[in-house]
Amino acid sequence: MRLHYLCSLPLALLACSGNAAPPQAAGKPFVENVIANFDSPWAMAILPDGRVLVTEKDGRMLLLMTGTRPNKISATMPVAGIPKTDSAGQGGLMDVVIAPGFAQNRLVYFSGSVAGPSGKGVVLWRGKLVESNQGFRLEDVVELFRANTFVEGNGHYSGRIAFSPDGQYLFFTNGDRQKFTPAQDKGATLGKVLRLTLDGKPAPGNPLAAKGFAPEVWSYGHRNLLGIAFDAQGNLWEQEMGPKGGDEVNLIVAGRNYGWPNASNGSHYDGRDIPDHKAGDGYEPPKVSWNPVISPGGLMIYSGAMFPQWRGDAFIGGLSSKALVRVDLNGTDAAKGDQWDMGARIREVEQAPDGAILVLEDGGDSQGRLIRLSAK
């Protein structure tokens, strides 16, 4: 396991000066400081006190601790009680999000891929974060939901989690598992955005149940959905990887069909054409698409004070593009903004309590560092 370390200052992420910073590229409007280093990290969630939960692909969850002295380096703490996951291919321990009311209920929602008798699929869990003399663990872990079709293969699990602004519902992404047609299959949850209750049941009022769809389905026709977030106006945004070209940012509207695999602004990997999105085809087009691809990772809608010029915009991690990508959001419209070369695959983007931007590298050749971006 790679050494984990943290520059431990008050609230953990408000400032950091104890680790060497990566080279500061000319023209970037932020300063980069390395906070920690992980083995193939996948997601992070920031607790109200500034500590950070991080998942690693191989099935570990870690809690970044704060120290009592400035510049004190402190090892991260493992979190016990995590169910076994299958880490082959694109699988593993995936998203982690704290529940509405976490300060009182201490509930954590998290996702991962598991193997079963009929194949593999994505699962959603919930547990209570407990601290004791023995360390940290998730207690009373329950499985809330699993994809209703398990299939062979190790790709396109998705597994991203977002709560509705009122805290009453949970949105959960299920990828198409590289099987194409399930994204249009009414009975499958694959290739869909799902709306669930906080206990993982189909949410009442889902728009497609009366049309014969699985009762959890909110929207369909998706490929590999690796980011989902609400903006301050309550709009739900999602980003997903296209095939050879055609990465997308979508405004998710209840009941809409987003086209995959019948429409895409990209092509199949073997060169076969896919009809582009066009007016009147019956499919909801993306608000923004990329060709060549950026390979989008996590998605964050910025609301902080440190970078007021970007408030309300979306930030996306770029995997193959090794970039941090900004998308201008304006109501229900979107346009490409900046794309900064980060020199490593960026898996996840989050906002620190003070408005700094946190980016998490993918691991492997990309190191797996957690880097804090602050204003110059």
**pLDDT score recorded for residue 65:** 81
Cβ neighbours around 134 below 10 Å, total: 8
CATH number, domain at 22? 2.120.10.30
Residue 8 in tokens: 């431990």
d(CA 34, CA 368): 10
Three-class HEC string of 217-285? EEEECCCEEEEEEECCCCCEEEEEECCECCEEEEEECCCCECCCCCCCCCECCCCCCCCCCCCCCCCCC
Range of 80's domain? 7-375
- pLDDT in the model for residue 49: 87
**221 vs 283: CA distance, rounded Å:** 8
Residue 359 backbone phi and psi in degrees, to 5: -120, 140
Residue corresponding to tokens 């869909």: 192
| Residue 161 is assigned to a structural domain of this protein | yes
pTM comes to 0.93
pLDDT-flagged residues of the chain (< 50): 3, 5-25, 67-73
In angstroms, rounded to a whole number, what is the distance separating the alpha carbons of residues 37 and 332? 37
User: DSSP secondary structure string, 160-191?
Assistant: EEEE-TTSSEEEEEE--TT-SGGGG-TT--TT
Would you say residue 2 lies in a domain?
no
In-domain check, residue 1: no
347 in a structural domain: yes
- Amino acid sitting at position 256: R
Please tell me the distance from the alpha carbon of residue 23 to that of residue 244, in angstroms, as a whole number: 32
What pLDDT, in 10s, does the model give residues 89-147?
999 999 999 999 999 999 999 999 999 999 999 999 999 999 999 899 999 999 999 99
Q: Note the pLDDT of residue 76.
A: 85
Q: Per residue in 262-310, pLDDT tens?
A: 999 999 999 999 999 999 999 999 999 999 999 999 999 999 999 999 9
Query: Are residues 93 and 53 in contact, defined by beta-carbon separation less than 8 angstroms?
Result: no
Number of structural domains the chain divides into: 1
Q: Based on the residue annotation, tell me whether 156 is a catalytic residue of this protein.
A: yes
Task: Give the integer Cα–Cα distance in Å for 190 and 45.
Answer: 25
Say how many C-beta atoms besides its own lie within 10 A of residue 347's C-beta: 24
Q: Which residue has the tokens 């690796």?
A: 226
The Cβ of residue 68 has, within 10 Å, a number of other Cβ atoms equal to 8
Residues 341-344: contacts with CB under 8 Å, at least 24 apart: 341/25, 342/318, 343/22, 344/369
List 156, 222, 268, 277, catalytic entry: 156
On whether residue 26 sits in a domain, the answer given is: yes
